[in-house]
Amino acid sequence: MSKTARIVAFFLCVFVGAIAFALVMDLVFGISISSNGEISTLDVHNYIETKDLAATGNTFATTGDDSQMVYDTSHLPAFSYVEVNLKSASFNAVASDASLAQLFFALDGEDFNDAKSVWLTLVSGRNFFQIPSANYASIRIDFSQYPGCVYEITNIGTMTRLPLRARHLIMFLLAVVFWSILCWALFFYNIKEIYLQWHGFKKYKYLLQSLVIKDFTVKYRRSALGVLWSVLNPLLMAFVMSIVFSNIMRIQIENYAVFYLTGSLIFGFMNEATSGSLASLIGAAGLIKKVYIPKYIFPLEKCFFALVNTVFAMLAMLILMVVVGFPLKPQMLLFFVPLIYVLVFSVGLGLVLATAGVFFRDTMHLYGVVVQAWTFLTPIIYPMDLLPENVRWIVELNPMYYYVNYFRDVMMYGNMPDLATNAKCAGFAVVLLLIGLLVFKRNQDKFILYV
């Protein structure tokens, strides 16, 4: 294929992909692209029935065990979302699930029942109950099962689709960028060269293994407990964090130590792998100048070394679960899936950082600050529900948010992540790996002049 033909095919492929992503957002995720999707805004006080709700202006306080509003929606066209826009919300601290609200929906002549209801965690900002699209006769919103919760309601409305928001546009643009990189690799990268690189890698797999063993031996040299520190360190950290955040900061999460450890293991894996990769080429300068070794071996070895340490740290998590009586679930056998995603993601990021570390030594100091900020942007020590609604979209752009949630789902909650979650995790990992390979390959011949 000629170069011109490749360029045309590349742009055509990107254009088709962008249209496909827009259709997926519109049809699958229910995000309205053409308009804000709003049909009607219900008057906050135009309810036909209330129970156990004390109202002062737009502020409502729950006074009983079943605080609710009932609205007549028979005059509205079919809708799929009910929006509850809160200016503020405060919950009874005694009840851990006080922020859970339940929406009941009923057709004409039907009663409200649990089979036709959905649950939502209410937070300040816009909250959307998603229900099957239909012409409902009435809806009932149960704000809390506990007295003592206070809501300042801006409006309550119905929508056919979710409104298009800034975070949706950013996610769309990121998806198009990722797709463009994949298309570029498909049309402009030499497949034969990829095969030769893989064949060369197989020749050096024993060197990779030896370097991992060497790093592991050096790490625990002259240590009385040796490899046991890989188990003890996460246990001690979980104990300290549990005391600080569960008792002093009073973050109400059941089994907080397990919650923290499942997040810190995944993030720590990425941090150790990428930080090690950053300095790997500088640290191997003596070998690089003396003999020929594929330079990608050094950042790759740091990633595999971090994986070995993480596997040992998982023993600490299992010990903690047994000690606190946490139930072990069969879904835990899927623990390796998020580890693979994070490994691929870390290799890609590690290759980029290793390249930057050779040419810009300040990267080694700057990356520590970036990781610190990255830690606080990832829900490791806090649940996502504590963040304001207008901040959550920033966290949702963070790849580690999805990896941490994936690991927690299989290890803590026994959930099987859906196809969309796997697609996001795999997409971030594969695209960053491609970027890392391209950046590293373009610069690797210059490393010997700077290390």
- Least-confidence region, from 113-122, 143-152, 213-222: 213-222
Q: What is the pTM of this model?
A: 0.64
Look at residue 256 in the predicted model and tell me its pLDDT.
77
Distance, in Å, from the CA atom of 123 to the CA atom of 384, rounded to the nearest integer, reads 11
Distance, in Å, from the CA atom of 315 to the CA atom of 306, rounded to the nearest integer, reads 15
Distance, in Å, from the CA atom of 14 to the CA atom of 6, rounded to the nearest integer, reads 12
The two structure tokens encoding residue 90:
């405060």
Look at residue 59 in the predicted model and tell me its pLDDT.
92
Q: How many CB atoms lie within 10 A of CB 3?
A: 9
- Residue 172 CA, chain-centre distance (Å), reads 16
Look at residue 420 in the predicted model and tell me its pLDDT.
73
Taking a C-beta distance cutoff of 8 angstroms, is the pair 360, 446 a contact? no
The two structure tokens encoding residue 173:
């643009």
Superfamily name and number for 38-159: Galactose-binding domain-like (2.60.120.260)
Look at residue 210 in the predicted model and tell me its pLDDT.
84
The two structure tokens encoding residue 405:
């949630």
Looking at residues 187-204, what average pLDDT do you find? 64
Look at residue 164 in the predicted model and tell me its pLDDT.
67
Task: Return the HEC string of 283-309.
Answer: HCHHHHHHCCCCCCHHHHHHHHHHHHH
Looking at residues 421-448, what average pLDDT do you find? 86
- Flag whether pLDDT at 439 surpasses 90: no
Highest-confidence segment of 176-180, 194-198, 304-308: 304-308
Choose between 119 and 194: higher pLDDT. 119
Looking at residues 142-147, what average pLDDT do you find? 85
Taking a C-beta distance cutoff of 8 angstroms, is the pair 384, 395 a contact? yes
Strands of the sheet with 117-121, listed across from one edge: 49-51, 67-72, 138-144, 100-106, 117-121
Could you tell me what percent of the chain has a pLDDT over 90?
Answer: 14
pLDDT in tens, 338-384: 999 999 999 999 999 999 999 888 888 899 899 999 998 888 888 87
Look at residue 450 in the predicted model and tell me its pLDDT.
78
Look at residue 78 in the predicted model and tell me its pLDDT.
84
Look at residue 37 in the predicted model and tell me its pLDDT.
47
Taking a C-beta distance cutoff of 8 angstroms, is the pair 440, 351 a contact? yes
Q: How confident is the model at residue 248 (pLDDT cuts 50, 70, 90)?
A: low
Per the rule left: phi > 0, alpha: psi between -120 and 50, beta: everything else, 209 is alpha
Taking the domains of the chain in order of start, what are their residue ranges?
38-159, 189-450
